[in-house]
Amino acid sequence: MIVLDSSVVLKWIFDDEDIHGKAIKYQQKHISGEETVIVPSLFFYEIANVLATKTRLSGSDAAESFLMFWNFDFEVIDFSLDEFLSVIDLSMHYKVSVYDASYIELARKLNCNFITADRKLYEKAREMKEVKLLMNS
């Protein structure tokens, strides 16, 4: 069981960086059933936002890419009130977005690793044992 954020999963289709191969290993482990990928419910909003606003994909290509991610059968978790309150605390403590803190809280709750390709996020929260940088994983 592992928590991956959109910065890792998007590397599955955008291979313009050196860490594409490391990201693909998580995809292969998920597909083979060796690793369950767990994401907070906001994950799909993030994926859709990147595909729609931060790429040069056509509308149909963005939709096709989104459908591919949708069909990966990730375990999607919604938060309770108490978990949202923990997310707010994490966000304020580490000075990260509530969205980023959601991934950290999910990994903390499930006692598993959270992998990100976002170096700035990693640097801010690296003291938490659950937070790992894709480059180092």
CATH code, domain with 90: 3.40.50.1010
Token pair 């289709």 is found at: 13
pTM of the model: 0.91
Q: Residue 17 has what pLDDT?
A: 64
% of the chain residues with pLDDT over 90: 88
Give the range of the structural domain holding residue 55, as residue numbers without chain letter: 2-136
Closest CA to 136 of 18, 56, 12, 27: 18
Q: Residue 21 has what pLDDT?
A: 87
Cα–Cα distance, 91 to 98 (Å, whole number): 5
Count structural domains, the chain. Answer: 1
Q: 3-class DSSP state for residue 77? A: strand
